[in-house]
A = this chain, B = another copy of it.
Amino acid sequence: MTNSKQKTYHIAVIAGDGIGKEIVPQAQAVLEKVTRGKADIRYEDFDLGAERYLRDGAVLPDEDLDRLKQQDAILLGAIGDPRIKAGILERGLLLKMRFELDQYVNLRPSKLYKGVVSPLADPGDIDFVVVREGTEGLYAGAGGSIRRGTPQEVATEVSINTAYGAERVIRYAFQLAMKRRRRLTLVHKKNVLTNAGDMWQRLVDQVGQEYPDVEREYLHIDASTIFMVTEPSRFDVIVTDNLFGDILTDEAGAVVGGVGYSASGCINASGTYPSMFEPIHGSAPDIAGKGIANPTAAILSAGMLLDHLGFEEEAASIERAVEDDIERSGSTHRSTEQIGRDILARL
């Protein structure tokens, strides 16, 4: 029964490749359940990813991109297939969406849930968020090569960083820190990448003036990978560039017991285009099709999606259900569907 007062939301679903197809339905089931009677969610499936590309050579046609832009949010499974040359789907689809939809905040929370076994002997209380810039840096796709395939080949990759791009994500990170433990760590490599690093540091200092209650620190990316292993509990909000954020959040995922628990949001915080929510893990071709992929990260991503649409309570209930589920059965081997059912049952 549809409630006439219910608002309608249009959610694009890109299940994508490999385990993406298996975990996304679980996330949708959770979305359905927690919004029943509160929102009318209309899904539109997008046929994007490896199969589409292998079928008709299309990666992200303008038409699909235009339709994506009409949605309220995007739920993504995973993109990537070993049959396809590295970069084609990543640059042409995943990163193209992040860039074209101006998803400049790549939000990646890391939390060690009770019941999850960390590879660290003494992990402590891990609960931080990496605010990764999502639309520039080395991901800009600026670079090229000359004399390809010869001994004289030169290949370049250009990291493009703007005050505009860094400032807005830094501001977002400070705002987030204010809602959390008020501690912000800038991660960069300013002793080597002196141009970009110096700009990031100046902008953090400058925006930081507006948030005098937020304690600031700076760490080099190399030192951060050490602390991530020796003292991850020190982190609250980390703000960093696109590549360093990519690296650090995978390490963080490992430290909190596996990227199977790590959700993320590619957020257009100015609201000009839809934001996208996806697990930070990949398409895992090695276990695809076996029905054993853990849908937890996808379900948590659906929670972030709801939070983004304003359903804070419902989002919180998803996180609680996941926490409960992990605490009770986190270490038991369960099928994708079983984990989905168990989480649903706790809602």
Contacts and interface: CB of A to CB of B under 8 A. Distances in A.
A221 interface: yes
A155 B229 contact: no
A300 to B, nearest CB: 18
With a 10 A CB-CB cut-off, give which of A162, A167, A222 has the most chain B CB atoms: A222
Given A247-B222, A253-B226, A154 B162 contact: yes
A223 interface: yes
Contacts of A118: 121
A91 to B, nearest CB: 7
A259 B220 CA distance: 15
A151 B164 contact: yes
A54 interface: no
Interface stretch (A40-48, A70-78, A137-145, A208-216): A137-145
A16 B15 CA distance: 55
A34 interface: no
A117 B122 CA distance: 12
Interface in A187-222: 189-199, 202, 221-222
A199 B153 CA distance: 8
Given A143-B195, A145-B199, A196-B143, A250 B223 contact: yes
Contact of A143 (B95, B190, B193, B249): B193
Interface residues of A, number: 68
A246 B222 contact: yes
Contacts of A91: 191-192, 194
A119 B229 contact: yes
With a 10 A CB-CB cut-off, give which of A119, A120, A151 has the most chain B CB atoms: A119
Contacts of A250: 222-223, 225-226
Contacts of A148: 199
15 contacts: A86-B191, A86-B194, A86-B197, A119-B122, A152-B164, A155-B162, A155-B199, A156-B158, A156-B159, A156-B161, A192-B246, A225-B247, A225-B254, A228-B251, A230-B254
Q: Lowest 5 CB-CB distances: which A-B pairs, in order?
A: A222-B250, A225-B251, A153-B163, A87-B194, A155-B195
